[in-house]
Amino acid sequence: MKTEFNYSLLKHNTFGIDAKCQRFVEYNSVEEAQEVVRSLKDEDYPLLILGGGSNLLLTGDYKGTVLHSGISFVEQLDDERVRCGSGYVWDDFVDYCVSHNLYGAENLSIIPGECGASAVQNIGAYGVEAKDLIEEVEAVEISTGKVHHFKNAECAYSYRQSKFKHEWRDKFLITSVTYRLSKTYQPKLDYGNIRAALAEQGIEHPTAAELRQTITNIRNAKLPDPKVTGNAGSFFMNPIVPKAKYDELAARYERMPHYTIDAEHEKIPAGWMIEQCGWKGKTLGRAGVYDKQALVLVNLGGATGADIVRLYKTIQHDVKEKFGIEIHPEVNTSPN
């Protein structure tokens, strides 16, 4: 277990915001997590549970304790189940699955962050979500130090949501996640431009490794490297709107992209609406909108959390004015 005071969080957030916390604690086992929560005092609060920092916007110094999981392992439990420590890098998990002929995670390649966060955020891409794979989440209750095991259904997963983001927020330290994969390969190719990218390579029936590499290439082409340009990937969630609202907009915008959710709802890409508002490639101070993907906000160097907040709120306002739709951040902000 590692504890440091007045600790810089610059290397713990992919936005590259230079903020500090009062105290930083990293635990490397379930027992250490229990020891940490049982030793917490009033002066240690508030708490910020931090993963890889790839879905976080720090709006200032954190006057409390940051808790980070250093539990990093991967183990195959049986033919289809894999258990990972909460601090294990997500893309390393996907790589492990593909290389061990375990299928279902390949569309989630190269999403930044750690496995613990997958159970909180219900990460997703190209027609697959973490909830499709998660079987069980192990977590230590902060108030008691007790270890809990939550089945998938208990976590109330939906689009980028879970109980860990709402009623269970700041109540548990996730220590490991168990995923159920499949030994049968059934590639999902119909989301986004996967088929077009495969066709460019002359691939009609991709192996899992070929699909993983293709998705990696697609994401690398449209998302900036956070080591070069600070960002948190897709900043906004794609809004899901009633069919009547979609019909109204479709009548005005003939080529508006959309994805059918069910008979009553459609998903409209937030990035498309942001681009229609003229924000793609534009800046506001040291914060900007990435010129290759309007869904991504970037730190152009030296931006503060407040600069990013000013930009995203301005974009929210413009989208609401033009389309009558509220878009909400997928990225968490702290301190709130």
Would you please indicate which residues are annotated as catalytic (active-site) residues?
A: 160, 234, 330
The neighbour count for residue 183, using CB atoms within 10 Å, is: 9
> Nearest to residue 194, comparing CAs of 213, 174, 167, 172?
213
The neighbour count for residue 50, using CB atoms within 10 Å, is: 24
Crossing angle of helices 208-222 and 90-99, rounded to 10°: 150
Given a contact cutoff of 8 angstroms between Cβ atoms, the answer to whether 5 and 22 are in contact is: yes
Q: What is the DSSP string of 110-144?
A: T--SBHHHHHHH--EETTEEGGGTEEEEEEEETTT
Distance CA 10, CA 271 (A): 27
* Tally of residues, the chain: 336
Distance CA 164, CA 155 (A): 7
Distance CA 178, CA 233 (A): 25
Q: What is the DSSP string of 70-98?
A: ----EEE-SSSEEEEETTSBHHHHHHHHH
Residue 155 sits at φ, ψ, to 5 deg, of -85, -5
Distance from the first to the final alpha carbon of the chain = 27
> Up-side HSE of residue 233: CA atoms within 13 Å toward CB?
19
